[in-house]
Amino acid sequence: MVKIAVDHNLCTGCETCADTCPVAIFEIKDGKAVSVNAEECLVCRACEVQCPEGAIQVIE
Ligand code: SF4
Ligand code: SF4
């Protein structure tokens, strides 16, 4: 089971993760990214790499 942790103290709601993720894990709610279907995650770690704030951790 993969857990997607988004630090909402760091997240600016830039939507980069939503645009980057190949399986649409992220939605932006109230200006912050949330993971809506983490079980679909491919653990490609593109979101971790692309987030300009370093707000995302993909935890296996
Ligand atoms: S890429 Fe990072 S800062 Fe931008 S919305 Fe996603 S988690 Fe937030
Ligand atoms: S690791 Fe890849 S598949 Fe998983 S949430 Fe991040 S971008 Fe999406």
CA distance 32 to 11: 6
Q: Is the pLDDT of residue 1 over 90?
A: no
Q: Give pLDDT tens digits for 4-44.
A: 999 999 999 999 999 999 999 999 999 999 999 999 999 99
Q: Which of 16, 36, 57 to mutate to test the pocket of ligand 1 (most atoms within 8 A of CB)?
A: 16
Tally of CB atoms within 10 A around 14: 16
Tally of CB atoms within 10 A around 7: 14
State whether residue 21 is helix, strand or coil.
coil
Domains detected in the chain: 3-59 (3.30.70.20)
Smallest CA-to-CA distance from 46 within 60, 58, 36 is with 58
